[in-house]
Amino acid sequence: MAKRIRNKRSTPWKWRAEWLAYECVEKIAGMLPATCVFRAGEIIGGLAWHLMPLRRKIVLKNLRIAFFGEYDLPTLQRMAHESFRRTGANMFSTAHTARLSGVQIDAMLTVENQELIEEALAPAKGLVLMPSHMGNWEILSRMNRIFPQGHKIGAFYRPLNNPLMNARVVAQRETDGTHLFAKKDNLHQVAGFLREGGLVGILADQRVGKQGELIRFFGRLTRASPLPSLLARRSKSEMLTLSLLTDSPGKWRVRYHPVAPPYKTKDCMEALEVAMKASPLDVFWFQDRWKVFIRPRFTIRDWLGPERDDSGKPHRALLWLADGREAWQLPEAWIHGDVNYEFVLASGQTPPSWISSDRTIHRVSNARDVRSLRKALCTIDLAAALPVDYILAREASTALAEAARRESILLVSLPSES
């Protein structure tokens, strides 16, 4: 109880420290030329590449899924490294652009195909605009001056945990008259905003939980937010996606992309793919986008649903049998047509009779330490073009759990009776 009280009392000081650090960084960045801020961000991103091994693995994992079959592993590894540098540059640039005037923001942005958004808003309809997390995406809330005039501008946002930081960020985003909507706001209110000819921006490229809609994104079965599709169809609005590409240090270019009707979630995500592929290095790949939310009592069937086809990029899973226990069979509840299982056996271990000869089998040494297991997992993960999505084991050892965590691979440990 005492520990919880201390944590509660110390939280406001943490909030103040975070707010003060943010203010200092923003003030310093605001005093420097945009080019210098961008270059400094590249250096910071390059350092982060060496200091954030887990994020390094997540970025590479996302790129391996998104561009499976398009680039080889060495190319993807170079892209991952450059993504760190570009993300550092774009994020540090947000601190610079936060305090600039609207006229200064205009000088940093060019629009490639303004006619698309003018045509979308011409029939006096609303517009659901779906940018992705790419480029200096915080500048999106300052783009009001380049949108067709005479339309109210709104955007969804997720409140920050730190109320001091949240108040600061909200004030910045509302500087040019943007109306902010939170997820808890009534959707009828947002739909009404759109029916009146408003424009609402929704960042919908990031992962969602099990409440999301099952679709294929970059060819991989996953879940996505149905919110943009729902709002567009309910308000009879038009839809566009948006790319924010780095033109040169401190300057960005806007490119709009159409969304195919009838504006279902599938149509939205296909258009987002096009937007993100316009400049892969500008995309924020740091979130484990295709993470599967599974646990012993919420299986892969629960997460991926009933779909069973081979039309996209399958999930890759390991069945861990190299634990010295009596061989056990893959439970029926964990079999899914979109998942390819590979089997991990110990050196010299006889494969169970139920594993067919055409299945992929990996051999690992009998060592049980974390370092050896990490090395084995890394080798197995890189043995195929697609990354390993999860490991299924029975009563997994602490060493295996730690090795999987450090390799950023989800481990599901089933109880012995499964």
Higher pLDDT, 29 or 232: 232
Q: What pLDDT band is residue 308 in, cutting at 50, 70 and 90?
A: low
Q: How many domains does the chain have?
A: 3
Q: Looking at the structure, do residues 151 and 19 belong to the same domain, yes or no?
A: no
For residue 181, how many C-alpha atoms fall within 13 Å in the half-sphere facing its CB? 25
Is pLDDT of 258 > 60? yes
Alpha-carbon Rg for the chain, nearest whole angstrom, is: 24
Is pLDDT of 83 > 60? yes
Q: What is the pLDDT of residues 143-196, one digit of tens each?
A: 888 888 889 999 988 887 888 887 877 777 777 778 888 877 888 999 999 999
Residue 306, SS3?
coil
Please state, as a whole number, how many other Cβ atoms lie within 10 Å of the Cβ of residue 49. Answer: 19
Q: Is residue 324 part of a domain?
A: yes
Q: What pLDDT band is residue 228 in, cutting at 50, 70 and 90?
A: very high
Block residue for tokens 């999301």: 212
Q: Looking at the structure, do residues 151 and 244 belong to the same domain, yes or no?
A: yes
Q: Looking at the structure, do residues 258 and 131 belong to the same domain, yes or no?
A: yes
Q: Looking at the structure, do residues 82 and 169 belong to the same domain, yes or no?
A: no
The residue among 70, 97, 124 that closes a domain is 97
Task: For the chain, give the percent of residues with pLDDT over 70.
Answer: 95
Read off the tokens for 361.
């089998």
pTM check: above 0.85: yes
Q: Looking at the structure, do residues 335 and 278 belong to the same domain, yes or no?
A: no
Q: Looking at the structure, do residues 139 and 34 belong to the same domain, yes or no?
A: no
Is pLDDT of 2 > 50? no
DSSP string of 107-162?
HHEEES-HHHHHHHHTTS--EEEEE-SBSSGGGGGG-GGGSPTTS-EEEEE---SS
Q: Is residue 295 part of a domain?
A: no
Q: Is residue 207 part of a domain?
A: yes
What is the end-to-end Cα distance of the chain in Å, rounded? 37
Q: Looking at the structure, do residues 117 and 265 belong to the same domain, yes or no?
A: yes
Q: Looking at the structure, do residues 362 and 404 belong to the same domain, yes or no?
A: yes
Q: Looking at the structure, do residues 390 and 409 belong to the same domain, yes or no?
A: yes
Read off the tokens for 107.
């000088």
Q: How far is CA 205 from the centre of its chain?
A: 7
Region of poorest pLDDT, from 107-111, 147-151, 377-381, 393-397: 147-151
The range of the structural domain enclosing residue 154 comes to 102-282
